[in-house]
Structure 1
Amino acid sequence: MRFHTIMKFAGASVLGLAVMASPVRTLAQGGDTVLKPADTQKLLPASVYYKAQSAPTQLRNSAGIKFADGYYLLATMVDTSGYSSDVASKYQAYFITEVPLKLGSDNLPAGVYGVGFVADKFVITDVGAHDIFSVGTSTDQALKRPMPLQIMADPAGGFRLYAGRKFVKFTR
């Protein structure tokens, strides 16, 4: 009898460790799931089209959201070394949204965009490098581990897209 109790405890311990060691996805409000780079790498291409060129993506620097209804938002940093300095300054990441978003007071339709953090603005361009709009950014000094690109749930609702400590808030 004692042997069976020990084996049950050992089995539960191993299962618990396996669950804790597995890649974790953060569940946000309403059943939306914030994806980690390992999740987004399966969905994003190795290179993307923007302003008449193909640019390699930096899949290790990617993030996304799987919304509760199955739609996605995906973002990945890109290598802009082949672009002119004026384009490369505002095109830092490829941004794909399957649903409309609200950034500040502006609405962004579903689509594919080039985005970048320029000074205190988040600039959104179409794939031809034409400006669509820009919104102000904030800085999160309390962020413990800034990364080149990440998405986190916003405590007030919605989400934050970060580039280092700078971020922009958005909602569906």
Structure 2
Amino acid sequence: MRFQAMMKFTGAVALAAAMMAAPMQLLAQGGDTILKPADAQKLLPASVYYKAQSAPTQLRNSAGIKFADGYYVLSTMVDTSGYSSDVAAKYQAYFITEVPLKFGGENLPAGVYGAGFVGGKFVVTDVGAHDVFSVETGSDDALKRPMPLQIMADPSGGFRLYAGRKFVKFAR
């Protein structure tokens, strides 16, 4: 009798362990994770360097992705007071990528950049405020709750970086 009870207990423990391990395996093998602002905030600095100045970040307005292989893309809005108006227009967010990305037909190597939505363009600059590229943006009028900055999955694959209802598509 004790042997049967022990076998039931051991079987139940093994089943519970397998059930708990399954989600971990799916997470490890599964896909990329879009970070909530609170998770992105933990990885981003309180201030950043750009064009010979230090600017405070708006960590409440941050977003990111943790790719299945452990690499990150992170972005946060910045306070650009103190910058000239032409620099501040293009430098709305700090953008960090640990992997190369594609924005339309443009390739962005791993690195740290300034980024902004200017008119109908998404403009990427290096930390010296030199233009790297600009691509066309879209507008998502169906977005129910636009935020100053967020990342969402793109229905056709890849991701969308939003500033309000404006967005730019990107992928690895």
Structure 2 length normalisation: TM-score?
0.83
**1:129 maps to 2:140:** no
Structure 2: 5+ residue runs without aligned partners? 1-26
Letter in 1 for 2:147: M
For residues 67-106 of structure 1, the C-alpha deviation after alignment (integer angstroms, 9 at most, x for no partner) is 0000000000000011000000000000000000000001
Provide the residue aligned with 2:98 in structure 1.
Answer: 98
For residues 102-136 of structure 1, the C-alpha deviation after alignment (integer angstroms, 9 at most, x for no partner) is 00001000000000000000000000000010000
Provide the residue aligned with 1:73 in structure 2.
Answer: 73
**1:55 maps to 2:70:** no
Inter-partner Cα distance in structure 2 for 1:41 and 1:151: 14
Inter-partner Cα distance in structure 1 for 2:116 and 2:168: 11
Provide the residue aligned with 1:113 in structure 2.
Answer: 113
Runs of 4+ in 1 over 6 A off after TM superposition: none
Letter in 2 for 1:59: L
Q: Quick check: which has more Rg, 1 or 2?
A: 2
What aligned pairs does 1:15-94 form with structure 2 within 5 A after superposition?
A: 31-94=31-94
Provide the residue aligned with 1:171 in structure 2.
Answer: 171
Letter in 2 for 1:135: V
DSSP 3-state at the match of 1:115 = strand
Inter-partner Cα distance in structure 2 for 1:39 and 1:124: 24
Letter in 2 for 1:45: P
Inter-partner Cα distance in structure 1 for 2:35 and 2:167: 17
Structure 1 length normalisation: TM-score?
0.83
DSSP 3-state at the match of 2:38 = helix
Provide the residue aligned with 2:158 in structure 1.
Answer: 158
DSSP 3-state at the match of 1:40 = helix
Inter-partner Cα distance in structure 2 for 1:131 and 1:82: 20
Letter in 2 for 1:71: Y
DSSP 3-state at the match of 2:148 = strand
Structure 1: 5+ residue runs without aligned partners? 1-26
Inter-partner Cα distance in structure 2 for 1:82 and 1:33: 35
Inter-partner Cα distance in structure 2 for 1:68 and 1:155: 19
Inter-partner Cα distance in structure 1 for 2:127 and 2:36: 25
Inter-partner Cα distance in structure 1 for 2:140 and 2:35: 20
Give 1:43 shift.
0.3
